[in-house]
Structure 1
Amino acid sequence: MLFSSNVFLFAFLPVVLLLYYVSPRRLRNPVLLLWSLVFYGWGEPVYLFLMIATILLNYGFGLWIHKKQTAGENGKLPLVLGVVANLVILGFFKYAGFFVRQLQAIAPFLSGIKAPEISLPIGISFYVFQSMSYVIDVYRSDAPVQKNPLTFGTYVTLFPQLIAGPIVRYQDVAEQMEVRRENVHDFASGVQLFVLGLGKKVLLANPMGNFWNLLQTEGGTLTAWVGILAYSLQIYFDFSGYSDMARGLGRMFGFEFLENFNYPYISASVTEFWRRWHISLSTWFREYVYIPLGGNRKGLPRQILNLLIVWGLTGFWHGASWNFILWGLYYAVLLILEKLFLLKLLKKAPGIFGHLYTIFAVLLGWVLFYFENLSSLFGFFGRLFTPAAASVHGMNLVLAFTPMLLISIFAATPAAKVLVSGRRDKAVVRYGAVAVVMVMLLLCVAALASQSYNPFIYFRF
């Protein structure tokens, strides 16, 4: 079920909100659990059993760790088994086919083995990572063990962020799972944030995606660069739009999720970009992989190795394909170069150079990210760096979409936020925001009536 679908907007969400708020507080988590399972099962009922098994498994590991530590033991055995069990689940459903194909490429005599054709359960990368964070947080005593299986199930399945994040670490919401104080102000700001995210998806991401799809078949250097710029805007508004909608929905139910995007395209370095892009994933890998590996505490050679491992895994997390691994390692190399000398050079240069370098690097990164077929990937790189005139049709497409492109670029910056924050008349700002939200909602509903099925990009991860 899509947040941007009429079924969700006008049936599912109103019903769940009504049932949630008429329920006594002690029943609100079970209500959310039940309807989150309905939400997930709407698209993939067969994988409900996998999700429930994941919940029970990690709930049990949490209790086991707590029991061991209460008895004066360190609880490392259930921790290791819990992490391994989660990785096996994720590995089987997401990577089994990939590994079989790689083995067959290395050892042709294994070609008789049929690579398993397993459909990827929606959201598995997100809810497995959340489940692992619970097991690790309990082991580290960063959060208390959850003894109520329904409350733990609510944490794993919470529908606002179930399918595509943000990845909510258990320690960040442990208290909210037990006690929440919903209020009108938070509910209203949640609605506003949800509609903003909906607008990003429907009014900006979808048109930019259409533009990118049209330009892929066009020849010419200019259309290639404009095309990958359009894709960079599409994936930003698509993913940050989903995150805003998830955070807005969370507020409607009394939760406060951490921000996942903070205007990444205004960054002046790749290091800064990754502090602003998919913050929850970067935080997860830093807290649960990079720091346990030693982080930057064991000398420069070890730090470089740790960065290569973490970013290789970050790329692989996105998909079972070599282009994602290359994408992750590409960023590892850039981050290593920045740590060695690039950041110092950028600080000495005029600020514009840092922004231009970052945008250039990120655009090339999105080429690696998008093309899973390596021949198509290198072919598109050839288009970017081989001078060739665009066709008349291609130029007409660029001219037709230029207004939308400029609006999207403006919306990807905090310019509007800065302009509004500078106004002294707060009443005008408040009522103006309400008017903008209402107009945006109407435009989204009108656009949804005419648009075809457009799932969020990160649903496939």
Structure 2
Amino acid sequence: MMFDTFQYWIFFAAVLLGLALLRDRPAKVALVLASFVFYGVWDWRFCLLLGGSIVVNYFFGIAIDAREGNARKRMVALAVAFNLAVLGFFKYANFFVDSFATLFGLNPDGMLLNIVLPVGISFFTFEGIAYAVDIYRRQMRAVRDPVDFSLFITFFPHLVAGPIIRPMDFFPQLAQRLPLTSEDSRWGMREILKGLIKKVAFANWFAPIADAWYTGAQYNGAEVPAWAGVLAFSMQIYFDFSGYTDIARGCARLLGYKFPPNFERPYLSASITEFWRRWHISLSFWLRDYLYISLGGNRVSVPRTYVNLLIVMGLGGLWHGASWNFAIWGLYHGFLLIGHRLWRQAVEKSGIAGIVDARWLLPFWIGLTFVIVTLGWIPFRAPDFAASLATFQALLAPQGWGFAQAHPAIVLIPVGTLAFCLLDHRRWLQDWLVQRASLPLVALVGALALLFLEIFAQVDAQVPFVYFQF
């Protein structure tokens, strides 16, 4: 049940109507049941795994909270091990078997397991780990109400593709669900419409171009040049995932809950470090708070700090999928982060920081960051290492621009969205629509957004959200 389907919006309208008739605990129970229905649409067996994860993590939380000293450490270690074992079995068992067989020259066909990857497993297992660690660090007490804990894990707007919700951000909201205000309604509808435009009008348009390049096919009977295929996926993954996040946040707000931002215009970052503060923010913070800091963070020697960065980014890459291509993507960003730190240290020591950070150079740094991030998406999207290498080689060859003439939207959409971000760089227009605009004007803007979707939406494309596979 994907966010860009009519089926989902019928489901969401029913849930919204049901919650309008319920209060307090019955509303929470209804949300938990609705979330299981939402998850079970993919495969009812997934609900058994989700329910088992809820029960085990619930009791682990109580057990950690009740213990001290080494017993407390052992219990949190068991909780983390449980979640990693669940994630490892369903997501990485065949990957490790295949890698082992390749390493020793064996035929993996008879060794692979018939495992169906449950959607969203990477997200709800990470939330289980965060919950256990937060209790261990005494940042919160274990939640005794099983309904509250179940809602934290299952809440359907973020269940299958995030954002990864921090326990300390979500549980306080369960104490008293705030009434839906006019501003909440406007904000939620704005985010939903914005997310749908990103997904069905933009991401779904770029998707077949990227697919054509990486599968060696044609797009509308024409060969796709390397630059177009690489740029198309860079645009697709941003509009797809940020669009999903917008819809998730909008739906959650209409249901009475607030999600933190997950994207802050990352392609306008002036450095790779800034990019990771703006891209998939919930995962970046999770990796920092629960992995990087646990490894010693910046408190260790400089060489060890750099090793920690590589470990975190490499594992962050593998979190996205069971493929060495994802590990390469993660390590690529790890080396970029190290390189940026060394660069900044050299700039500060040489006394040229004022020149390097001059405003007139900002477009250059933003452009450079966008290029290196876009090149990094090649191993992320390519089916294997050979395809990644072939794409890099194709980019070095002379590029034709006839494709852009035949399909100008491949340039106009990025340029147009960039212009909008520059014109509304402080989001005053979006905030004005939510906070101060008259109701007729808001209705007019909403109608224009729906008209835009009617004209430009790629509804027939039926392109799954990219992050559903993770």
Query: How high is the TM-score relative to the length of structure 1?
Result: 0.91
Deviation at 1:79, TM superposition (A): 0.4
Asked if the contact 2:72–2:136 (Cα under 8 Å) also holds between the matched residues in 1, the reply is yes
Q: Distance between the aligned counterparts of 2:437 and 2:260, measured in 1?
A: 28
Residues 223-254 of structure 1 deviation map (CA, whole Å, 9 limit, x = unaligned): 32233222111111110011111111111122
* Pairing 1:163–2:160 present: yes
Deviation at 1:21, TM superposition (A): 1.7
Identical-residue share of aligned pairs (%): 37
Residues 8-52 of structure 1 deviation map (CA, whole Å, 9 limit, x = unaligned): 11x101110111120121211111000000000011211110000
Asked if the contact 2:123–2:160 (Cα under 8 Å) also holds between the matched residues in 1, the reply is yes
Higher deviation after alignment, 320-329 or 416-425:
416-425
Higher deviation after alignment, 85-94 or 190-199:
190-199
Q: Pairwise mapping of residues 358-377 of structure 1 onto structure 2 (< 5 A)?
A: 358-377=369-388
Asked if the contact 2:404–2:410 (Cα under 8 Å) also holds between the matched residues in 1, the reply is no
Paired residues, number = 455
**Which amino acid counterpart does residue 152 of structure 2 have in structure 1?**
Y
* Pairing 1:22–2:4 present: no
Name the CA shift for 1:401/1:331 in 2 (closer, same or farther; >3 Å): closer
**Which amino acid counterpart does residue 386 of structure 1 have in structure 2?**
A
**Which amino acid counterpart does residue 365 of structure 1 have in structure 2?**
G
Asked if the contact 2:54–2:150 (Cα under 8 Å) also holds between the matched residues in 1, the reply is yes
* Pairing 1:183–2:180 present: yes
Equivalent residue for 1:51? Answer: 50
Query: How high is the TM-score relative to the length of structure 2?
Result: 0.90
Q: Pairwise mapping of residues 120-159 of structure 1 onto structure 2 (< 5 A)?
A: 120-159=117-156
Deviation at 1:116, TM superposition (A): 1.3
The one of 331, 341, 356 aligned to 2:367 = 356
**Which amino acid counterpart does residue 12 of structure 2 have in structure 1?**
L
Q: Pairwise mapping of residues 338-353 of structure 1 onto structure 2 (< 5 A)?
A: 338-342=340-344, 345=347, 347=353, 348-349=355-356, 350-353=361-364
Deviation at 1:387, TM superposition (A): 2.2
Asked if the contact 2:230–2:378 (Cα under 8 Å) also holds between the matched residues in 1, the reply is yes
SS of corresponding position for 2:41 = helix
Equivalent residue for 1:270? Answer: 272
Name the CA shift for 1:34/1:135 in 2 (closer, same or farther; >3 Å): same
Q: Distance between the aligned counterparts of 2:409 and 2:56, measured in 1?
A: 53
Equivalent residue for 1:452? Answer: 461
Q: Distance between the aligned counterparts of 2:27 and 2:141, measured in 1?
A: 20
Q: Distance between the aligned counterparts of 2:117 and 2:464, measured in 1?
A: 15
Asked if the contact 1:66–1:138 (Cα under 8 Å) also holds between the matched residues in 2, the reply is yes
Structure 1 residue ranges without an equivalent (≥5): none
Deviation at 1:386, TM superposition (A): 1.9
Asked if the contact 2:91–2:117 (Cα under 8 Å) also holds between the matched residues in 1, the reply is yes
Equivalent residue for 1:114? Answer: 111
Q: Distance between the aligned counterparts of 2:378 and 2:438, measured in 1?
A: 40
Q: Distance between the aligned counterparts of 1:148 and 1:427, measured in 2?
A: 39
**Which amino acid counterpart does residue 310 of structure 2 have in structure 1?**
L
* Pairing 1:437–2:446 present: yes
Asked if the contact 2:32–2:151 (Cα under 8 Å) also holds between the matched residues in 1, the reply is yes
Name the CA shift for 1:125/1:275 in 2 (closer, same or farther; >3 Å): same
Q: Pairwise mapping of residues 286-435 of structure 1 onto structure 2 (< 5 A)?
A: 286-342=288-344, 345=347, 347=353, 348-349=355-356, 350-389=361-400, 394=403, 396-399=405-408, 401-410=410-419, 413-418=421-426, 420-421=428-429, 432-435=441-444
**Which amino acid counterpart does residue 5 of structure 1 have in structure 2?**
T
Asked if the contact 2:317–2:326 (Cα under 8 Å) also holds between the matched residues in 1, the reply is yes
Deviation at 1:353, TM superposition (A): 2.8
Asked if the contact 2:204–2:458 (Cα under 8 Å) also holds between the matched residues in 1, the reply is no
| Divergent runs of 4+, >6 A | 218-222, 422-426
Residues 50-106 of structure 1 deviation map (CA, whole Å, 9 limit, x = unaligned): 00000001001001112224xx77511110000000000000000000000111112
**Which amino acid counterpart does residue 189 of structure 2 have in structure 1?**
V
Higher deviation after alignment, 44-53 or 438-447:
438-447
**Which amino acid counterpart does residue 52 of structure 1 have in structure 2?**
G
Q: Distance between the aligned counterparts of 1:207 and 1:166, measured in 2?
A: 24
Deviation at 1:455, TM superposition (A): 1.3
Q: Distance between the aligned counterparts of 1:195 and 1:297, measured in 2?
A: 44
Name the CA shift for 1:326/1:252 in 2 (closer, same or farther; >3 Å): same
Q: Pairwise mapping of residues 200-279 of structure 1 onto structure 2 (< 5 A)?
A: 200-214=198-212, 217=217, 223-279=225-281
Deviation at 1:416, TM superposition (A): 3.2
* Pairing 1:90–2:87 present: yes
Deviation at 1:357, TM superposition (A): 1.7
Name the CA shift for 1:15/1:109 in 2 (closer, same or farther; >3 Å): closer
**Which amino acid counterpart does residue 48 of structure 2 have in structure 1?**
F
Residues 241-294 of structure 1 deviation map (CA, whole Å, 9 limit, x = unaligned): 111111111111221111000000111100000000000000000000001111
Deviation at 1:408, TM superposition (A): 4.2
Deviation at 1:113, TM superposition (A): 4.7
Higher deviation after alignment, 41-50 or 397-406:
397-406
Name the CA shift for 1:162/1:414 in 2 (closer, same or farther; >3 Å): farther
**Which amino acid counterpart does residue 197 of structure 1 have in structure 2?**
G
Q: Distance between the aligned counterparts of 1:89 and 1:423, measured in 2?
A: 42
SS of corresponding position for 1:120 = coil
Deviation at 1:210, TM superposition (A): 3.0
Higher deviation after alignment, 131-140 or 422-431:
422-431
Name the CA shift for 1:352/1:119 in 2 (closer, same or farther; >3 Å): same
Deviation at 1:427, TM superposition (A): 5.2
Q: Distance between the aligned counterparts of 1:249 and 1:395, measured in 2?
A: 36
